[in-house]
A and B are shown apart, each in its own frame.
Chain A
């Protein structure tokens, strides 16, 4: 198939003087003139994608997810303001407990990172797994809230308010489960053979988790004030 070629042999290059990220121009003398000059050695380095890419990715991902929820939130506000027949959904009380669970999970996450900073591996794993468990507990609590609403006869198709309740909580839970997946990944992954360190992975996961936390507070406020 035209368009790509295969490299027949592999040369292992062990020299690594860093790189990536668009730093300033190196001092002259690193040219590759094709004549086999001695300076060519300077240009031979291991290419390694910058580990910063994970934190950049999570930042852009958070902005993107925020836009998704802002679209839903603006739809909620537009329909709420434009409707004379808005039927209120009484928020199940367990939502407040769930919120407490999620806030507690952010606290335990930071405690885990603190233990990691202090090189307390067992303390880190304890708090990290606690955070993961609280994440599962939150999702389970949201399911209970759904069941309570169903028991009251409030379904997703009952009215606009209930539609928004289920969509908001469902979409948030799906995104939060992604965070739980990241918690599990960091909690059980061996980081010796990756080019991201455990503290960096924990930090990136914490950005996402705290964002999920804040997002839930926002959605809950919207649903509560939208009554």
Chain B
């Protein structure tokens, strides 16, 4: 790998540069405040808040993973005495609580918080050349609302069902408020705080993804908040927004057992289907960024990728009826939603083609970050293919016979794929976050074990769904196929055990590298192009010091023929490129 270019070889003096004074609170680094609490707990610095979100996500992911482990063991060996499942009340209630909490933590606190609020808060200002988020105090408020939401969600597990449900709704409403504040902050920061020269075409794709995601979040979290207000009102004030009996009376007999008030379904899915893309959009940006950086090539058809990200946002906002094919909606609606959901294939295909186009004939650096990015592509493709079945209303109605098919699909395409993107980003940005590297051999072992584990866990889940479907059809399905269901359950559980074990390796690697990992001396160990690599690792509290960055080029100028090295940083002036080339000659 070529060493860092002139643009990044700033002397260490840069890290002790001062900061400019400013008359607004938005621009006040908190460097002079001593004490742990003021510096790390109540700091409104975007980097501290970003890191705090990542800590929160790390805690949540391990908690939720432990829950999934309990659930899988219970499914494979129901007779086994398990903590939390058998001790606290009766098992079915506990199992339902565990499922709800696992999903809530993973979706809200991990998949929504980590790639957007975590990495976004830390790196958005750094990548666009700003020194802070647009509204640091709101940012801090959003973080603590998220903490309150996590506290509420986890507390629900120890309460009896009725108060637990109320508390869960309150916690989700609080999370909505936090997400709305985040969405506002991200949108405004991207629109108004870009450095000079950072025009829209020059924005890194990570920033594009965070921005589109913020707009989408500002729209859909309002819907969920409204739904939560109505639901809470029903529970606490005895209002009648979601009258169960009215709904049941109007439904076909086949759907009554799973009856949920259709109005709630509409409001919930308006949020929840778009939420899938809220989790995925930043991951698309992160993956594209990693693939380009470690392929040492510009993003193939970069502007088309931006359009594709916009397309994901727009279509993702419109497909809310996709999960309601069997809810008794207007007969023409499934066709419309099927078309809309299938249309998502267009931007998704553009993204995949762009990733492969970037990789084509590239000098790929297969480090752990890149492996996770490629793993994301693999999982997104595999999970996306089963999504085609669910986008068709006739096939989806069939698959709805068993939840396992849907569970397998969304875990592959949303849960695990997004986690791979988050892990890839963590391996990529770890040197910038902590000034040390994560251990690469350990990381690669972690990747391959996880990659094998998740495929072994979630592909068979699709088969379970198909087997369950076969059971209810009057066809001649071999009894051996049907009987295979229990063996598959055991196999999935073993695969989950392997995956969780691999995450233990990751945790060891993470903690060890945090304090004992190889120190990173240079600013830009990956020879990347974006602005965050132009400052020390970790970045100074005032990010860029007195030198406000100026941007001269796009974010993916790799393998530029005239350049001295195989990359040209965004902030490198044209004459500096010439100078670097001449000094290289």
Q: Are A156 and B237 in contact (CB under 8 A)?
A: yes
- Contact A57 to B184, CB < 8 A, known contacts A52-B192, A75-B263: yes
- Which residues of chain B have C-beta atoms less than 8 A from A22's C-beta? 128, 194-200
Range, interface on chain B: 35 or more
- Contact A20 to B194, CB < 8 A, known contacts A5-B536, A64-B183, A68-B223: yes
Q: Does A119 contact B (CB under 8 A)?
A: no
Q: Does A226 contact B (CB under 8 A)?
A: no
- Contact A56 to B192, CB < 8 A, known contacts A8-B16, A12-B21, A79-B241: yes
- Contact A2 to B230, CB < 8 A, known contacts A68-B225, A75-B267: no
Q: Are A46 and B20 in contact (CB under 8 A)?
A: yes
Query: Quick check: which of A24-32, A106-114, A203-211 contacts chain B, the rest being far away?
Result: A24-32
Query: Quick check: which of B98-106, B131-139, B288-296 contacts chain A, the rest being far away?
Result: B131-139
Q: Does B339 contact A (CB under 8 A)?
A: no
- Which residues of chain A have C-beta atoms less than 8 A from B239's C-beta? 156-157, 160, 163, 167
CA distance A48 to B131 in the complex (A): 9
A-B contact count (CB 8 A): 248
CB proximity to B under 8 Å, residues A83-99: 83
- Which residues of chain B have C-beta atoms less than 8 A from A163's C-beta? 233, 237, 239-241
Q: Does B408 contact A (CB under 8 A)?
A: no
- Contact A47 to B222, CB < 8 A, known contacts A25-B552, A31-B572, A167-B229: no
Task: Choose among B131, B187, B540 the residue with the greatest number of A CB atoms under 10 Å from its CB.
Answer: B187
- Which residues of chain A have C-beta atoms less than 8 A from B515's C-beta? 2
Q: Does A126 contact B (CB under 8 A)?
A: no
Min CB distance A168 to B, Å, is 11
Q: Are A195 and B23 in contact (CB under 8 A)?
A: yes
CA distance A46 to B135 in the complex (A): 18
Checking A50, A52, A167, A195 against B230 with a beta-carbon cut-off of 8 angstroms, the contacting residue is: A167
Q: Are B550 and A43 in contact (CB under 8 A)?
A: yes
- Which residues of chain B have C-beta atoms less than 8 A from A29's C-beta? 573, 575
Q: Are B31 and A48 in contact (CB under 8 A)?
A: no
Q: Does A10 contact B (CB under 8 A)?
A: yes
Q: Does B547 contact A (CB under 8 A)?
A: yes
CA distance A198 to B327 in the complex (A): 53
CB proximity to B under 8 Å, residues A129-183: 156-157, 159-160, 163, 167, 171
Min CB distance B495 to A, Å, is 34
Q: Does A217 contact B (CB under 8 A)?
A: no
- Which residues of chain B have C-beta atoms less than 8 A from A28's C-beta? 573-575
Q: Does A44 contact B (CB under 8 A)?
A: yes
Checking A2, A9, A69, A78 against B18 with a beta-carbon cut-off of 8 angstroms, the contacting residue is: A9
Q: Are A25 and B536 in contact (CB under 8 A)?
A: no
- Which residues of chain A have C-beta atoms less than 8 A from B538's C-beta? 2-5
- Which residues of chain A have C-beta atoms less than 8 A from B404's C-beta? none
CA distance A107 to B191 in the complex (A): 31
- Which residues of chain A have C-beta atoms less than 8 A from B131's C-beta? 47, 49
Interface of A is mostly: loop
- Which residues of chain B have C-beta atoms less than 8 A from A69's C-beta? 226
Query: Quick check: which of B44-52, B82-90, B390-398 contacts chain A, the rest being far away?
Result: B44-52
- Which residues of chain A have C-beta atoms less than 8 A from B18's C-beta? 7, 9-13
Q: Does A34 contact B (CB under 8 A)?
A: yes
CA distance A226 to B571 in the complex (A): 58
How many chain-A residues does the 8 Å CB contact rule pick out? 67
Q: Are B240 and A160 in contact (CB under 8 A)?
A: yes
Checking A2, A74, A75, A194 against B23 with a beta-carbon cut-off of 8 angstroms, the contacting residue is: A194
Q: Are B16 and A56 in contact (CB under 8 A)?
A: no
Q: Does B9 contact A (CB under 8 A)?
A: yes
Checking A4, A10, A52, A71 against B47 with a beta-carbon cut-off of 8 angstroms, the contacting residue is: A4
Q: Are B222 and A56 in contact (CB under 8 A)?
A: no
CA distance A182 to B221 in the complex (A): 24
Min CB distance B136 to A, Å, is 9
Please, which residue of chain B has its CB at the minimum distance from the CB of A25? Answer: B197
- Which residues of chain A have C-beta atoms less than 8 A from B6's C-beta? 33-34
- Contact A171 to B229, CB < 8 A, known contacts A22-B194, A34-B11: yes
- Contact A7 to B19, CB < 8 A, known contacts A60-B218, A75-B241: yes
Q: Are B547 and A43 in contact (CB under 8 A)?
A: yes
- Which residues of chain A have C-beta atoms less than 8 A from B270's C-beta? 71
Min CB distance A167 to B, Å, is 6
Q: Does B67 contact A (CB under 8 A)?
A: no
Q: Are B47 and A3 in contact (CB under 8 A)?
A: yes
CA distance A50 to B189 in the complex (A): 9
Q: Does A199 contact B (CB under 8 A)?
A: no
Q: Are B223 and A23 in contact (CB under 8 A)?
A: no
- Which residues of chain B have C-beta atoms less than 8 A from A5's C-beta? 15, 536, 538-541
Q: Does A6 contact B (CB under 8 A)?
A: yes
Q: Are B196 and A23 in contact (CB under 8 A)?
A: yes
- Contact A3 to B196, CB < 8 A, known contacts A11-B19, A32-B10, A75-B267: no
CA distance A67 to B220 in the complex (A): 8
Checking A3, A157, A194 against B237 with a beta-carbon cut-off of 8 angstroms, the contacting residue is: A157
Contact with B along A33-77 (1 / 0, CB 8 A): 110000010011111111011001100110111011101101100
- Contact A167 to B575, CB < 8 A, known contacts A1-B40, A71-B222: no
- Which residues of chain A have C-beta atoms less than 8 A from B219's C-beta? 63-64, 67
- Which residues of chain B have C-beta atoms less than 8 A from A50's C-beta? 192-193
Please, which residue of chain A has its CB at the minimum distance from the CB of B13? Answer: A34
Contact with A along B320-364 (1 / 0, CB 8 A): 000000000000000000000000000000000000000000000
Q: Are A71 and B548 in contact (CB under 8 A)?
A: no
CA distance A29 to B241 in the complex (A): 64
Known: A7-B29, A7-B541, A45-B20. 5 other contacts (CB 8 A): A4-B51, A9-B18, A24-B199, A50-B193, A163-B239
Show the binding face of B for A, using Cβ within 8 Å: 6-7, 9-11, 15-24, 26-27, 29, 31-32, 36, 39-40, 45, 47-48, 51, 128, 130-132, 134-135, 180, 183-184, 187-189, 191-200, 215, 218-223, 225-227, 229-230, 233, 237-241, 243, 246, 250, 263, 266-267, 270, 433-436, 514-515, 536, 538-542, 544-552, 571-576, 579
25 contacts between A and B (CB under 8 A): A1-B39, A2-B515, A5-B541, A20-B192, A21-B194, A22-B195, A23-B199, A31-B573, A33-B6, A44-B546, A46-B20, A47-B22, A47-B130, A49-B131, A49-B132, A49-B193, A50-B192, A52-B192, A53-B192, A57-B184, A64-B222, A67-B220, A72-B229, A160-B241, A171-B229
